[in-house]
A and B are shown apart, each in its own frame.
Chain A
Amino acid sequence: TLRLICTTTAVQRKNVGASGPEKYTEAFIKKQIEEFNLGKRHLANMMGEDPETFTQEDIDRAIAYLFPSGLFDKQARPMMKHPTEVFPEQRKIQWGEDGRPFHFLFYTGKQSYYSLMHETYEKFLNVQKHQDQLIAQDLPLQKEKRNLAGSRWLTKIELEEMLLEKLSDDDYSRFIQLLQKLVALPCADIEENYIQKFCKEVPVQLQRVVIEPLQYDEQGVAFSTGEGKRKTARATAIVYDNGTGKITVNGTDILHYFPVLQDREQLLFPFQFLGRIGKHDMVCTVSGGGRSAQAGAIRLASAKALRSFVTEKEVEFMRQAGLLTVDPRVKERKKPGQEGPRRKFTWKKR
C-alpha cells in the first residue's frame, strides 16, 4: 500500500466532489454563474477596463489590488473564480423516480470503481485472447517497450476526480497493479487508447529553463550573471572568463568574509564540480541571512551564472548534483500553545 510520509500541503487537497450526492442543486449553480458574470462586469467598470474583454487574470490582479492580503495559504486569500472552479463537479442522483438505481452495481457502494475494474479486466482478457491467437498462428509477438520515464499513472486524487467517488488506498493500489499487469503483456498495444486515459505526461526533460547567452564587457572578456537565494539571503554573482580564480564578496576577499572552511568549500563547489577552479573570476554581492545561508545563496548564484559557460550535458549533471535547485527549507514558525516549532511546554501533572 502507498503511505505518504513526507508531504506538502499541496498534495493534501480534499476531493469534495466525491463526498456524496448533490449538495448544491443545479439551479443554485446557475444562479452563482449569473452573479459571477454580473460581478465581473461591475469589477471591470470599477477598474476602468472594458467589461467585454475582462479575463480571469485581470480579475485576479484586480482582487489582489483591492483586497491585499499577506496570509500564507493562497487558498485563504480573497479570490473570485468561476463557480465551476469553486464548486467541484458532483454526481447526479443515481436512481430514477421509482427508486430503482440506474447502474447494476449501485448496491456495491462504489459503483464507478467496480465498473472500472470490470472494464480493465475485460481489456486484459481481450489482450490475452489476442496473444493466444497470435501464438496459435505462430506469428511473432510485438514487444515495443513503452517509455516509462516520460509518463506517470494518475494519482489517487486525480482518479477520485475522474470517477467522482471516494477511493481507499487499497482500491487505488489494486487498480494501479491491474494496469501495470495489463501494460506488462507483450500485445498491450491494442488497448493503448484505453490505457492513455490513465496516464499523464511528465515533461520528459526538466530543462525548461532558458540558458542565457554570454555577455562581453569592454575588454572583450566574457561574463555572465546569476542570482541565488537561501533562507533570507539574496546574492548576485558575476562570473568572468580568463580569470585567476579570485573571488570577491561585497568588496572583500572570501578569506576575510568567510573565515569558516565549510562556507569556502560551498563557494568552490560548482567550480570544482565542473573542473574550472583557476579559470574563472567571480564578483558577488550578498545581503541578508546568516553565515551559512549567504554561502548557499552565492553557491546557487554562481552555479546559475556558470550555466552559460558550459555544455547542456554538464548543465544536466549540475542539476542532478543538486546545484541548481533553490533550497526551500526555511525556519519553521512557532505555534501557539507550544514553546517552539516542535518543542511543547513542560508537562506538569498538576
Chain B
Amino acid sequence: RIMPVRWSRYNPSYLEPEVKKDSYQKPLEELTEEEREQMELKAVRPIKAAPPTLSSSVFSDPMVSKFTNMMMKSGNKVLARSLMSQTLEAIKRKQLEKYHKAPENEKETIECNPYVIFHQALNNCQPIIGLSNITKGGKTYQVPVPLTDNRKRFLAMKWLITECRDNKHRRMMMPEKLSQELLLAFNNEGPVIKRKHVLHKMAEANRAYAHFRWW
C-alpha cells in the first residue's frame, strides 16, 4: 500500500519554477540534448508558483535566503532579514576599513564584496565527511559516512548560527558577532573551522568501522 509520507498541495506532476532570466535568454542551438528534453517537458507540465522568498532580481540569493530562514525565530522574518542585512553591512564596513589602512600592493588582495565573503566562508566551513550512529550487536558505533551537498550546506550554516548564539559576550549584537565569525571563516580560522577539523579527525579515527555502512 502506498502511504503518503509528506504531502503537498500541489499535484506530483507540477515542476519547480526557474526564476533566473539568463536561462530564458539562451538561443535554441546552444542547448544540449538533455536541456532540450527538459524544455519540452516543461512546455507540457504545469509549474508550481514561485515562493515569496524567490525573485529574479540580482539581490536575491538562495543561499542568503536559506541562512535567513535558519536564523529566523518564531516566524519573525522581518527581524531575521534585518539582522542579515546588518551583518553584510558590518562585513563591508570592516573590509573597507582594512582596505583603506592597507598599503598599495595589498589593496587588490582584500575582498570587499560581502556576498563573495559569505559564500566563501560557508564553503570553507562545509565538512567533507560526516559521522552517523549505526547500532550493531548491541553497541552503537560512530561510522564515517559521505554527506550530500544539501547536508554539508545545512551543517555549515547550523554550526555558524549556534556558534554565534552561544559563545558571545552578553551585550554583543548578533550582526557584529556573525560578521566576525564570517571573516574568520573566510580566512580559514575561527571556532567553526575548528569544529569542522575535529569532525574530520573523528572520522579519520573511526576509519576502522567504515565497512559497517551498507549504503
Identify the A interface with B (CB < 8 A).
3-8, 10-12, 148-150, 169, 202-206, 260-262, 265-266, 268-269, 272-273, 292, 295-296, 300, 316-317, 319-323, 325-330
Contact = CB atoms under 8 A, between A and B. Distances in A.
Interface stretch (B51-59, B99-107, B120-128, B159-167): B51-59
A325 B53 contact: no
A275 B48 CA distance: 22
Given A11-B11, A169-B2, A328-B9, A262 B53 contact: yes
Nearest to B40: A149
Contact of B4 (A6, A205, A260): A6
A269 B49 contact: no
B24 interface: yes
Main secondary structure of the interface of A (DSSP, over half): loop
Contacts of B53: 262
Interface stretch (B15-23, B171-179, B184-192, B193-201): B15-23
Given A6-B7, A8-B11, A322 B17 contact: yes
A322 B19 contact: yes
5 tightest CB-CB pairs across the interface, nearest first?
A322-B17, A322-B50, A149-B40, A327-B49, A325-B49
A8 B7 CA distance: 7
Interface string B1-38: 01011111111100001110100100000000000010
B207 interface: no
Contacts of A326: 49
Contacts of B43: 149, 204-206, 316
Interface residues of B, number: 38
Residue among A202, A205, A265, A292 facing the most chain B CB atoms (10 A cut-off): A265
Nearest to B78: A260
A339 to B, nearest CB: 16
B91 to A, nearest CB: 19
A328 B56 CA distance: 21
Nearest to A293: B52
A320 B12 contact: no
17 contacts: A7-B2, A7-B12, A204-B44, A206-B46, A262-B52, A265-B59, A266-B55, A269-B56, A272-B57, A292-B52, A295-B52, A300-B49, A321-B24, A321-B56, A322-B17, A325-B46, A325-B47
Nearest to A263: B52
B45 A206 contact: yes
Contacts of B12: 4-7, 11
Contacts of A319: 47
A264 to B, nearest CB: 10
